[in-house]
Amino acid sequence: MASLQGEETPDGDCTSPTAKAVAELKQVCQEKWEAVKTNHELITKTSDPKNVDDVSPLLAILHEKEKRLTGEIETVKNSKPSVLPENPDILREVLRKDLTKSISQLQEVLTLVNSQKKELTQQISREEEIQRQLQAVHTCLEIKLEGIANNDEEEVTMSSVMSELDLKIRKGETMNRSLTKRLVHFVNEHFPLPSVEEVKAGKKKLRSSDKKISMENLVPFKVVLQELMNKCIDEPHDPYVIITNRFWPPYIELLLRCQIVLRHPEDDQRIKLVPFHL
C-alpha cells in the first residue's frame, strides 16, 4: 500500500478518486503513527525499573516476563482487529496488489511443475526402454527354456561343457599365435634395432643418463613389448618395468607419446603397459 503514495492519475488531477483514496490512507496512517508515538511516550514515562529479588533473580525475571506476556495476550483478545478504510478505491488497489502477487507466485509454481513434468516424462521414456529390453531378454530366455525342454534326449553333461570350453581355448590360442606372429612381423619391419650410425647420432640428443647406451646392450623392440605384456598379465599387482640401457630411448618415448605405456608416478625410470584388456 506504500506504493500508492507515488501514484498519479494520467491527467494529473489531484481530485480524482484515486488521489482522494491515497490522501485518506495517508491520514489514517498518520493518525495510527501519532497513536503509537503517544503510547510509547506514556510507557517510557510510567515504566519504572523494578527491584529484583536477590535470592532468585532469574525466577523473578521470568515471573515478570510471564506477567508481560499475559498482559499482551489479554490486550490482543480484547482489542478489535484493525481493518483497512472502507474506501472502495483503496480496497480495489489492495485487492489488485494481492492478486498480482498471487499470479506471480502461481506462475513460478507452474514453471517448476512444468520442469518436473518434463523430467518425469524423460524418466518414464527411459524406464519404458529398459522395460522393452528386459522383455526381449525374457522372451529369449523363454524360447531357450522351451528348446531345452523339448530336447530331453540331448542332456547337457560335464563332458560336453568341457569339450566346448576346450574348443574355445584352442581357438583362442590359435588366434593368439596368429596375432603374436603378425605383431612380431610388424615390429621387426617398422621398428628394427638402430644402426651404429643412428646410435652415435642419437646419443647427441639424449639425456646424460641415457648416453651409456651401446649397440651391444640394445634389445629388439619386440623384447621390450614382450616384457611389458608379461608383467601386465603375470604380475598385475606390480606391472612396472625398469628402463635400462637395453632399451632404445626413442622407442620408449614413442610409447609414452602414444599413451601405450605410462610412467610410475614416483619413479620416471619405471614404466607399465596400459591395461587395455580391462
Write the DSSP assignment of 102-163 as a string of letters: HHHHHHHHHHHHHHHHHHHHHHHHHHHHHHHHHHHHHHHHHHHHHHHHH-TTS---HHHHHH
Residue pair 64/50 in contact (Cβ under 8 Å)? The answer is yes
d(CA 163, CA 158): 9
Q: List, in sequence order, every residue forming a beta bridge with 273; answer none if it has no partner.
A: 261
Is the confidence at residue 4, as pLDDT, over 70? no
Could you tell me the three cell numbers for 82?
484493525
- Summary mean pLDDT of the chain: 80
For residue 194, name the pLDDT band (cuts at 50, 70, 90): confident
pLDDT number for residue 170 = 92
Q: Which amino acid is at 74?
A: E
The answer to whether 19 and 9 are in contact (CB under 8 A) is yes
Residue 153 reports pLDDT greater than 60: no
Burial of 128 (0-12, 13-18, 19+ CB in 10 A): exposed
**From 38-42, 65-69, 104-108, 267-271, the region with the lowest mean pLDDT:** 38-42
CB-neighbour burial class of residue 90 (10 A; exposed 0-12, middle 13-18, buried 19+): buried
pLDDT band for 48, please (50, 70, 90 cuts).
low
Q: What percent of the chain has pLDDT over 70?
A: 79
Q: Would you say residue 1 has pLDDT above 70? A: no
Q: What is the mean pLDDT of residues 263-269?
A: 89
Residue in 249, 162, 255 with CA at minimum distance from that of residue 212: 249
Q: How confident is the model at residue 95 (pLDDT cuts 50, 70, 90)?
A: confident
Measured from the Cβ of residue 24, the count of other Cβ atoms closer than 10 Å reads: 15
**For residue 207, what pLDDT band results from cuts at 50, 70 and 90?**
low
76: confidence class by pLDDT, cuts 50, 70, 90? confident
Query: Of 238 and 212, which is predicted with more confidence?
Result: 238
Sign of CA dihedral 245, 251, 252, 253: positive
Q: Cell 634389445 identifies what position? A: 219
Judge contact between 247 and 219, C-beta under 8 A. yes
Instruction: Report, as an integer, the average pLDDT of 157-169.
Output: 82
Distance CA 19, CA 31 (A): 18
CB 25 within 8 A of CB 85: yes
